[in-house]
Structure formats: C-alpha cells, structure tokens
Structure 1
C-alpha cells in the first residue's frame, strides 16, 4: 500500500471565507440559481431548512458514537471487502491507497439488504443501531440529495430535471454511508486530501471543526460546523456530467486537539454499469465540445481505487 503521512498545518495558508449557505425553503427558482452558482464557484455549499427531522439525525449520530465506543477487538470483526471497497470497520487508513491518519470509520453499502445485515451486529444497545435507524437516515439523505440534484438540473436549464437523480435512486445504486471518527489529537494534523469520486456528497458532523476545502492548490478554507445544516459537495461524476461547469472540490480532515469529531457522509453514486456523460445541453458556446469521454461508473471506480489518495483521477478520462 502506498501511503502519505499526515501534514502539520502550522505553516500552511489557511484563509477564512464565508461559504454559501442556501435556505431550501426560499423560492424554488432562486434556490436553483444559488445552488448552481455555489457549485460553479466552490463545488461546495451548506443547506438549511432541509426538512430532515432532527430525531433522525440525532438517532444516527447516537448510533455512530455508540459503535465507536466499542472495544477495538469487537469493531475489528466488522471489516470485510466488497468490490475494491473495504466495507465495515477500518482504522487509520482511507481506502487501500490512502493517507494514514488518526481516523476510524464504519463504511456501509447503501442497499437495504447490507444495512439490514450489518445493523444487527454493531450496537451495544439493540434498540439503537438497528435497521430502522440507519435506513431512516439513508432514506432521508437520499431524498434530500435527489431534491438538490433536481434543483441543479433546473438551474442549469436541463429539460429532464431527473437526469441526475435517476442514478442515485436506482435500485442498483452504488451509494455509500460512512461514519468517520477522529479522536482528540495534539497537535492539529491534516490528512485525506481528495475529491469524492461519486456524484454528490451530503455530510453531517457534530459541532467540532475539522473539515477544510481547497479552491486552489495550497489554499485551505475551514468549514465551520453548523448544527442546522448539511454540507453538500460536488463529486467527480457531477463535474463530468456538467461538462466541467461544476467543480469537484478537494477537501481534507484536520484533527482537533481537545474534542472528538464524528462525521456522517452519504455518497450518492450510480449503478456500476451506468454510463457517465454530459447531456447535450451542457455543450454550449463556452464549452463547445465534451471535456470528458463517456465511461461507466465501474471504470471510474476501478481507476479511483488503483491510484493513491490525492492523485487526480478525472484527468484520465479527458478527451
């Protein structure tokens, strides 16, 4: 395995920018325009008034902390391999070719059958991390992701506003849920610099800072946690399907020296055999040709897991 050590952030350039927060309760056409603008400029934004009930979020976060409180020997029993992705529990590595850092995670396939199977084995309290808790959260964030993707299509002027959502609400969707747990660790270290290969990511974290995004090489922007918001970032596939109009944002984690941080990410992905290509409406006078050749998610996924974390994958598929 090729690994990279965590980096100290003491000498790096950290800047403060007011990242977009979009109120989904506002007028729909306005919201669609704001989402498109944020996706073009940052590849990232927060959404509030998302209508996901607080008890669904609280139950999921409680389930995650309950799991990570288990003895290491018990958590380690939940590691397994699936299609080049290590599902279940992992510690101090991100993927097979990723950074080494102080993080432990629980990665779940988004399918109902996988969630049902694993949910019966990973809680100290059988009433906590049960199928209903995880599946309720998965259903809620998938619905929110579909709403956001439809707003993106509307804002882009694509007549078929379900063109992106059909990928992630497909019965064979390859979507994932991931818990990341970062224990307190002095001094602050940064690791995991990458972009997400999927279509869209919805992220929720406890009120502890640690996420940073990069708009250009060497310039990092902290994302302050907002208990009312979900963070949304554009993935590689969405950059391809918008013909480069949207930006797949690079991001990383920074450890906190005093408090543990836990985040829960939903990665919306298509079926493995889905063909990824920009629709005709994305070919414009500003972008008169397709920037990327057509490929399947299986092809891109294979390329993703054959490279070291942080390497540029999307350029492999440029025309």
Structure 2
C-alpha cells in the first residue's frame, strides 16, 4: 500500500466549496440526481437524515474508546494485524506508516464474535454493538447503491447492492484512532501542518461509509490536484466511491483519493464500513455503461484478484491501472 504523497503547494489555500451534503429525506428523483452528480464529480459526499440511530452510533463509539484507552500491552494482545486485529502506526505490510492505531475486523458476525474475545472484557456486548452498527451502515450503503443503479437507468436496481448482501461478502469494519498531537510527540523535522495520520490512498472496495467525531483532518483530492479539507461533523456520514465501483461503472464514478492529517490538539476517531463483494465476484464494467463510443476501460477480474494486488502494493499506488484494458489507455 503507498508512501504518503507530498502536499501540493496549492493545498494550503484549498477549501471545500461545493462538497456535496445530501439530505436523504429528499424526494427520490432529486436525491438520485444529487448522488449521481457527487459520484461523478467528486467520488465523495456527505449524507444527513440518514436514519441511523444516535444510540447505535454512541454504543460503538464507547466500545472504541474503551479499547483505545487500554494500556499498550493490553492492546497488543489483540494484534498484530494479519490483516485483521489491532495495529499501531504500520499500515499494511509494505512499509506504510501513519500516526494512528486501529482495529480492523471482517464484517461478519462469526468473525466479530471470535475477535471480540481479545478486544473487550465483555465480548458478547462488543459483538452485539458492532454487529448492530454494521447492519445499520450496510443498509445505508445498499440504499445508496440502489439509488445509483436507478440513476444509471439499470432495470435491476439491486445490481450493486446484491454484491454486498452476498452471504460470502468480503466487507470489513474499521475503527481508526488518531492520538492528539502535543509538543512532546511531534517529530521536530516534521511540519506539524502536514503530519500524516493516514497517507494518500483510494479505497479498493465498492463503497465506504465513514463517521468521525468532531475533529478534522480528513481531506479529499480534487480533480485539479487540490487537497480539500472536509469539515468534521458527528451527525453526518461520509460516502466514498471505491475502486471496484469505478470499475463497475466504467470510470463514470470516480474512486476518490483521500488522506488524514494528524495535526489536531484533540484525538480523532473514525469508524468505517467498507462494502465489498465476495472473493469470487467478477468485477467488470456493467453492460449498461459500455458502448462502441465508450468501450470497456477495464478487463474483468475477481474481487479476490484485486484484493491480492492491493496487499502487494503500497498505499498510494494506483492499483486499478493494473486492470485497465491495454488497448484503451
């Protein structure tokens, strides 16, 4: 996975005007129009009135806080990540690092039940809390995927969501904790304004649902090369188009590159659900987005093949380029 990219010189002046914030209670046709536009132009948007209860959110936040407040020795008993479990600073196995610690879990109840034994003094409660949260955000992901299918004028509105609902889906759940920055912990050779919490990357899955606390740091990369800061909001969810979705839509939707800066005086916590298909699911542009004028940009590949490529590369690498049709470059 990849070395953090240097900050473009112009990023200091970058702002986030027009970053879409979409009200999910809007009338369906308007909602569809806004989500399509956001997926095509940014590969990112925020949603409000999402219907996920504050209680479900609060309970999973508390479980995260309880774990990350443990001693280093206690937390290490839940690691090292392989790739699932507890990790600290190391991101993947190819040399990428960040100023964070995290829990990464498979998003299925059996795996969560097993992992919870090393994560909590009350494994049963931890499992219930995390599974309840995953169910809610999975429903949100599927709702958004069905709306995009509608926007692409696909008769089978579940063409994308059924990949995520497959009983063998490879979705995962992650909690990132970025400790607050203080004078004692900062590398004196590092510019505190560009201290990398999690380096530049795109998400390989279909779609990501992220929620964070009220601490900033998340930035997305615009098409003109500017890093746009995303204002923190604990009552909204961030939606990211992933690599697999870009391939499925033949590049019509953009897999957004993003990063997190760890320059806050307060700790940042983010909770993510990465919606992925099963390992043997075929990823290729759907027929409705391919034509003589717009031929298929990507050769067919399985999610398992793509996942293997992801784990073999650096965080910032453009992994999807490996699967482009060589006749169309």
Q: Give the TM-score normalised by the residue count of structure 1.
A: 0.93
Distance 2:52 2:72 in 1: 32
Q: How does 1:13-28 map to 2 (within 5 A)?
A: 13-16=12-15, 17-28=17-28
Q: Report how many residues are paired.
A: 313
In structure 1, the partner of 2:312 is 306
- Whether the aligned pair in 1 keeps the contact of 2:149 and 2:157 (CA below 8 Å) is yes
Q: How does 1:241-260 map to 2 (within 5 A)?
A: 241-260=248-267
Distance 1:306 1:227 in 2: 34
Distance 2:132 2:95 in 1: 30
Q: How does 1:142-161 map to 2 (within 5 A)?
A: 142-161=138-157
Q: Deviations over 1:239-294 (max 9, x none)?
A: 00001000000000111331000000100001000000111111146x52101010
Distance 1:100 1:14 in 2: 26
- Whether the aligned pair in 2 keeps the contact of 1:240 and 1:276 (CA below 8 Å) is yes
* Secondary structure of the structure 2 residue equivalent to 1:61: helix
Q: How does 1:87-166 map to 2 (within 5 A)?
A: 87-97=84-94, 99-124=96-121, 126=122, 130-166=126-162
- Distance 1:6-1:249 versus aligned 2 partners, 3 A rule: closer
How large is the RMSD of aligned CA atoms in angstroms?
Answer: 2.0
Distance 2:161 2:275 in 1: 9
Q: Deviations over 1:205-248 (max 9, x none)?
A: 01000100001364100011122210001000000000100000
Distance 1:129 1:137 in 2: 12
**Unmatched 5+ residue regions in structure 1?**
none
- Whether the aligned pair in 1 keeps the contact of 2:2 and 2:317 (CA below 8 Å) is no
- Distance 1:8-1:66 versus aligned 2 partners, 3 A rule: farther
* Secondary structure of the structure 2 residue equivalent to 1:90: strand
- Distance 1:255-1:18 versus aligned 2 partners, 3 A rule: same
The 4+ residue runs of structure 1 with deviation greater than 3 A are 2-14
Give the superposition deviation at 1:5. 6.4
Give the superposition deviation at 1:96. 1.4
In structure 1, the partner of 2:280 is 273
- Whether the aligned pair in 1 keeps the contact of 2:112 and 2:127 (CA below 8 Å) is yes
- Whether the aligned pair in 2 keeps the contact of 1:59 and 1:128 (CA below 8 Å) is no
In structure 1, the partner of 2:188 is none
Distance 1:283 1:47 in 2: 29
Distance 2:230 2:178 in 1: 16
In structure 1, the partner of 2:60 is 60
In structure 2, the partner of 1:38 is 38
- Whether the aligned pair in 1 keeps the contact of 2:116 and 2:123 (CA below 8 Å) is no
Q: Deviations over 1:281-312 (max 9, x none)?
A: 11146x52101010000110111111111011
**Unmatched 5+ residue regions in structure 2?**
183-191
